[in-house]
Structure 1
Amino acid sequence: MASWGDLADYVRAEYDVISDEDEELRILFTFGDQEEDEDDRTQVVIIVREVLDKMHEWVQIASPCGLASQVDLRAVLAEVGSSTVACGLAIMGEHVVVRHSLPLKDLDIHEFTDPLQLLAGTADTLEEQFWGGDGY
Protein backbone atom coordinates (compact mmCIF):
# COMPACT_ATOMS: atom_id res chain seq x y z
CA MET A 1 0.00 0.00 0.00
CA ALA A 2 1.39 3.36 -0.92
CA SER A 3 -1.54 5.68 -0.26
CA TRP A 4 -4.90 6.14 1.40
CA GLY A 5 -6.56 5.61 -1.98
CA ASP A 6 -4.94 2.19 -2.38
CA LEU A 7 -5.96 1.10 1.10
CA ALA A 8 -9.50 2.47 0.72
CA ASP A 9 -9.91 0.57 -2.57
CA TYR A 10 -8.74 -2.64 -0.85
CA VAL A 11 -11.16 -2.15 2.06
CA ARG A 12 -14.07 -1.49 -0.30
CA ALA A 13 -13.31 -4.70 -2.19
CA GLU A 14 -12.75 -6.96 0.83
CA TYR A 15 -15.08 -5.79 3.62
CA ASP A 16 -18.72 -4.88 4.20
CA VAL A 17 -18.50 -1.07 3.96
CA ILE A 18 -21.42 0.61 5.73
CA SER A 19 -20.22 4.22 5.36
CA ASP A 20 -17.79 5.72 2.85
CA GLU A 21 -16.73 9.32 3.26
CA ASP A 22 -13.73 11.22 1.92
CA GLU A 23 -11.11 10.01 4.40
CA GLU A 24 -13.16 7.65 6.58
CA LEU A 25 -14.59 4.21 5.97
CA ARG A 26 -16.79 2.27 8.36
CA ILE A 27 -17.05 -1.46 7.98
CA LEU A 28 -19.17 -4.12 9.64
CA PHE A 29 -16.79 -6.88 10.68
CA THR A 30 -18.64 -10.19 11.11
CA PHE A 31 -17.41 -13.02 13.31
CA GLY A 32 -18.38 -16.61 12.63
CA ASP A 33 -19.17 -18.44 9.40
CA GLN A 34 -19.09 -16.61 6.09
CA GLU A 35 -22.77 -17.43 5.65
CA GLU A 36 -25.33 -15.05 7.15
CA ASP A 37 -26.26 -16.29 10.61
CA GLU A 38 -28.42 -14.37 13.06
CA ASP A 39 -26.19 -15.51 15.94
CA ASP A 40 -22.99 -14.10 14.42
CA ARG A 41 -21.56 -11.18 16.33
CA THR A 42 -20.55 -8.07 14.45
CA GLN A 43 -18.35 -5.11 15.20
CA VAL A 44 -18.28 -1.67 13.59
CA VAL A 45 -14.73 -0.67 12.70
CA ILE A 46 -13.79 2.86 11.64
CA ILE A 47 -10.81 3.30 9.32
CA VAL A 48 -9.55 6.88 8.97
CA ARG A 49 -6.73 8.58 7.10
CA GLU A 50 -4.62 10.76 9.39
CA VAL A 51 -1.75 13.07 8.41
CA LEU A 52 1.06 13.54 10.93
CA ASP A 53 2.99 16.83 10.78
CA LYS A 54 1.29 17.66 7.46
CA MET A 55 3.58 15.13 5.74
CA HIS A 56 3.20 11.54 6.91
CA GLU A 57 0.09 9.54 5.99
CA TRP A 58 -1.19 7.14 8.64
CA VAL A 59 -4.28 4.99 8.96
CA GLN A 60 -6.13 4.81 12.26
CA ILE A 61 -8.34 1.83 12.99
CA ALA A 62 -10.86 2.22 15.83
CA SER A 63 -13.86 0.32 17.11
CA PRO A 64 -16.34 1.40 19.80
CA CYS A 65 -17.03 -0.89 22.75
CA GLY A 66 -19.62 1.11 24.66
CA LEU A 67 -20.36 4.35 26.45
CA ALA A 68 -17.67 5.53 28.85
CA SER A 69 -20.30 6.59 31.36
CA GLN A 70 -21.64 3.04 31.64
CA VAL A 71 -18.48 1.17 32.65
CA ASP A 72 -15.79 0.89 35.29
CA LEU A 73 -12.93 2.35 33.23
CA ARG A 74 -10.29 1.06 35.63
CA ALA A 75 -11.55 -2.50 35.17
CA VAL A 76 -11.59 -2.19 31.37
CA LEU A 77 -8.07 -0.73 31.32
CA ALA A 78 -6.81 -3.49 33.63
CA GLU A 79 -8.31 -6.13 31.32
CA VAL A 80 -6.70 -4.57 28.23
CA GLY A 81 -3.39 -4.31 30.07
CA SER A 82 -3.41 -7.98 30.94
CA SER A 83 -4.96 -9.54 27.86
CA THR A 84 -4.04 -7.65 24.70
CA VAL A 85 -0.87 -7.54 22.66
CA ALA A 86 -1.70 -4.72 20.25
CA CYS A 87 -4.13 -1.81 20.31
CA GLY A 88 -4.87 0.75 22.95
CA LEU A 89 -7.98 2.05 24.64
CA ALA A 90 -9.21 5.63 24.34
CA ILE A 91 -12.31 7.71 24.91
CA MET A 92 -13.51 9.36 21.71
CA GLY A 93 -16.59 11.49 22.20
CA GLU A 94 -18.82 9.49 24.54
CA HIS A 95 -17.42 6.08 23.60
CA VAL A 96 -14.64 3.83 24.79
CA VAL A 97 -12.81 2.64 21.67
CA VAL A 98 -10.06 0.19 20.89
CA ARG A 99 -7.60 1.97 18.59
CA HIS A 100 -4.49 1.24 16.53
CA SER A 101 -2.54 3.36 14.02
CA LEU A 102 -0.18 2.41 11.20
CA PRO A 103 1.97 4.41 8.78
CA LEU A 104 0.76 4.03 5.19
CA LYS A 105 4.18 4.39 3.59
CA ASP A 106 5.37 0.91 2.55
CA LEU A 107 2.46 -0.72 4.42
CA ASP A 108 2.13 -4.43 3.63
CA ILE A 109 -1.49 -5.57 3.51
CA HIS A 110 -0.93 -8.06 6.36
CA GLU A 111 0.30 -5.19 8.52
CA PHE A 112 -3.24 -3.83 8.12
CA THR A 113 -5.45 -6.93 8.05
CA ASP A 114 -3.91 -8.68 11.05
CA PRO A 115 -4.27 -5.68 13.42
CA LEU A 116 -7.75 -5.00 12.01
CA GLN A 117 -8.85 -8.52 12.89
CA LEU A 118 -7.21 -8.36 16.33
CA LEU A 119 -8.74 -4.96 17.05
CA ALA A 120 -12.25 -6.03 16.00
CA GLY A 121 -12.01 -9.16 18.14
CA THR A 122 -10.70 -7.24 21.14
CA ALA A 123 -13.44 -4.61 20.86
CA ASP A 124 -16.12 -7.27 20.51
CA THR A 125 -14.83 -9.23 23.51
CA LEU A 126 -14.63 -6.10 25.69
CA GLU A 127 -18.08 -5.01 24.57
CA GLU A 128 -19.59 -8.33 25.55
CA GLN A 129 -17.64 -8.61 28.81
CA PHE A 130 -18.14 -5.08 30.13
CA TRP A 131 -21.27 -3.75 28.41
CA GLY A 132 -23.08 -7.08 28.08
CA GLY A 133 -24.22 -6.86 24.50
CA ASP A 134 -23.46 -6.45 20.83
CA GLY A 135 -24.50 -2.86 20.16
CA TYR A 136 -21.62 -1.89 17.94
Structure 2
Amino acid sequence: MASWEDLVAYVGQEYDVVREEPDEIRIKIGYGEDEYAPRRAQVVIIAREIMDRKEEWVQIATPFARVGQVDLRAVLTEIGNTTVVGGAVLMGDHLVLRHSLPLVNLDINEFVDPLELVTGSAELLEEQFTGRDDY
Protein backbone atom coordinates (compact mmCIF):
# COMPACT_ATOMS: atom_id res chain seq x y z
CA MET A 1 0.00 0.00 0.00
CA ALA A 2 1.80 3.12 -1.15
CA SER A 3 -0.92 5.66 -1.92
CA TRP A 4 -3.69 7.48 -0.12
CA GLU A 5 -6.18 6.09 -2.63
CA ASP A 6 -5.10 2.51 -1.84
CA LEU A 7 -5.53 3.15 1.87
CA VAL A 8 -8.96 4.72 1.39
CA ALA A 9 -10.04 1.74 -0.74
CA TYR A 10 -8.86 -0.70 1.96
CA VAL A 11 -10.57 1.22 4.75
CA GLY A 12 -13.78 1.36 2.73
CA GLN A 13 -13.80 -2.42 2.37
CA GLU A 14 -12.89 -3.26 5.96
CA TYR A 15 -14.56 -0.64 8.17
CA ASP A 16 -17.84 1.21 8.67
CA VAL A 17 -17.21 4.51 6.85
CA VAL A 18 -19.35 7.35 8.19
CA ARG A 19 -17.85 10.22 6.17
CA GLU A 20 -15.37 10.58 3.34
CA GLU A 21 -13.65 13.68 2.00
CA PRO A 22 -10.64 14.00 -0.33
CA ASP A 23 -8.02 14.00 2.45
CA GLU A 24 -10.02 12.49 5.31
CA ILE A 25 -12.10 9.43 6.02
CA ARG A 26 -14.06 8.81 9.22
CA ILE A 27 -14.95 5.36 10.43
CA LYS A 28 -16.86 3.93 13.37
CA ILE A 29 -15.53 0.92 15.25
CA GLY A 30 -17.88 -0.94 17.60
CA TYR A 31 -17.05 -2.54 20.95
CA GLY A 32 -18.96 -4.89 23.22
CA GLU A 33 -20.97 -6.53 20.48
CA ASP A 34 -22.04 -9.64 22.33
CA GLU A 35 -25.56 -9.68 23.78
CA TYR A 36 -24.36 -9.41 27.38
CA ALA A 37 -22.22 -6.27 27.01
CA PRO A 38 -23.43 -2.78 26.22
CA ARG A 39 -22.57 -1.64 22.72
CA ARG A 40 -20.08 1.19 22.49
CA ALA A 41 -18.48 2.82 19.47
CA GLN A 42 -15.49 4.98 18.69
CA VAL A 43 -15.29 7.38 15.74
CA VAL A 44 -11.85 7.54 14.14
CA ILE A 45 -10.54 10.18 11.77
CA ILE A 46 -7.98 8.97 9.26
CA ALA A 47 -6.39 11.93 7.51
CA ARG A 48 -3.82 12.44 4.79
CA GLU A 49 -1.15 14.94 5.80
CA ILE A 50 1.64 16.35 3.65
CA MET A 51 4.91 17.00 5.50
CA ASP A 52 7.29 19.58 4.05
CA ARG A 53 5.17 19.69 0.88
CA LYS A 54 6.56 16.33 -0.26
CA GLU A 55 6.04 13.43 2.16
CA GLU A 56 2.59 11.90 2.63
CA TRP A 57 1.64 10.77 6.11
CA VAL A 58 -1.47 9.18 7.56
CA GLN A 59 -2.80 10.45 10.85
CA ILE A 60 -5.12 8.32 12.98
CA ALA A 61 -7.03 10.41 15.53
CA THR A 62 -9.95 9.73 17.85
CA PRO A 63 -11.45 11.99 20.52
CA PHE A 64 -12.25 10.56 23.92
CA ALA A 65 -13.20 13.48 26.17
CA ARG A 66 -13.67 17.21 26.47
CA VAL A 67 -10.95 18.97 28.42
CA GLY A 68 -13.36 20.20 31.12
CA GLN A 69 -14.77 16.71 31.73
CA VAL A 70 -11.62 15.08 33.06
CA ASP A 71 -8.63 15.49 35.33
CA LEU A 72 -5.98 16.15 32.69
CA ARG A 73 -3.10 15.06 34.93
CA ALA A 74 -4.81 11.74 35.67
CA VAL A 75 -5.54 11.15 31.98
CA LEU A 76 -1.96 11.88 30.92
CA THR A 77 -0.62 9.68 33.72
CA GLU A 78 -2.85 6.81 32.58
CA ILE A 79 -1.75 7.26 28.95
CA GLY A 80 1.89 7.31 30.06
CA ASN A 81 1.44 4.10 32.04
CA THR A 82 -0.68 2.07 29.64
CA THR A 83 -0.43 3.31 26.04
CA VAL A 84 2.32 2.18 23.69
CA VAL A 85 1.01 3.69 20.44
CA GLY A 86 -0.17 7.25 20.01
CA GLY A 87 -0.15 10.31 22.18
CA ALA A 88 -2.69 12.69 23.63
CA VAL A 89 -3.23 16.12 22.11
CA LEU A 90 -5.72 18.93 22.49
CA MET A 91 -7.79 19.68 19.40
CA GLY A 92 -10.11 22.53 20.25
CA ASP A 93 -11.96 21.51 23.41
CA HIS A 94 -11.33 17.80 22.83
CA LEU A 95 -8.72 15.42 24.13
CA VAL A 96 -7.65 13.25 21.22
CA LEU A 97 -5.48 10.17 21.02
CA ARG A 98 -3.55 10.18 17.75
CA HIS A 99 -0.75 8.46 15.87
CA SER A 100 0.93 9.25 12.55
CA LEU A 101 2.58 6.99 9.98
CA PRO A 102 4.51 7.66 6.76
CA LEU A 103 2.44 6.53 3.80
CA VAL A 104 5.31 5.54 1.54
CA ASN A 105 5.85 1.75 1.66
CA LEU A 106 3.19 1.36 4.35
CA ASP A 107 2.25 -2.29 4.89
CA ILE A 108 -1.32 -2.99 5.94
CA ASN A 109 -0.32 -4.34 9.38
CA GLU A 110 1.63 -1.13 9.99
CA PHE A 111 -1.70 0.68 9.65
CA VAL A 112 -4.18 -1.79 11.17
CA ASP A 113 -2.26 -2.51 14.38
CA PRO A 114 -1.85 1.18 15.37
CA LEU A 115 -5.45 1.88 14.28
CA GLU A 116 -6.73 -0.82 16.61
CA LEU A 117 -4.42 0.18 19.47
CA VAL A 118 -5.22 3.90 19.27
CA THR A 119 -8.95 3.31 18.92
CA GLY A 120 -9.14 0.69 21.66
CA SER A 121 -7.10 2.85 24.02
CA ALA A 122 -9.30 5.89 23.35
CA GLU A 123 -12.41 3.81 23.98
CA LEU A 124 -11.04 2.62 27.32
CA LEU A 125 -9.97 6.14 28.29
CA GLU A 126 -13.39 7.51 27.41
CA GLU A 127 -15.14 4.88 29.49
CA GLN A 128 -12.72 5.20 32.42
CA PHE A 129 -12.59 8.99 32.64
CA THR A 130 -16.03 10.09 31.43
CA GLY A 131 -18.20 7.01 31.92
CA ARG A 132 -19.89 7.95 28.66
CA ASP A 133 -19.86 6.94 25.01
CA ASP A 134 -19.90 10.27 23.17
CA TYR A 135 -17.27 9.52 20.53
Shorter-chain TM range is over 0.9
Amino acid at match of 2:113: D
Q: For residues 1-136 of structure 1, what are the structure 2 equivalents within 5 Å?
A: 1-33=1-33, 39-136=38-135
| Aligned-residue identity in percent | 56
C-alpha distance in 1 between matches for 2:87 and 2:121: 10
Amino acid at match of 2:3: S
- The residue matched to 2:121 in structure 1 has which SS? helix
- The residue matched to 2:2 in structure 1 has which SS? coil
TM-score, normalised via structure 2 length: 0.95
The CA RMSD over aligned residues, in Å, is 1.6
- Residue 130 of structure 1, CA deviation: 0.6
Aligned residues: 135
Structure 2: state its 5+ residue gaps: none
- The residue matched to 1:105 in structure 2 has which SS? coil
- Residue 36 of structure 1, CA deviation: 8.8
- Residue 39 of structure 1, CA deviation: 2.2
TM-score, normalised via structure 1 length: 0.94
Structure 1 moving runs of 4+ over 4 Å: 35-38
**Distance verdict in 2 for CA 1:36–1:19, change over 3 Å:** farther
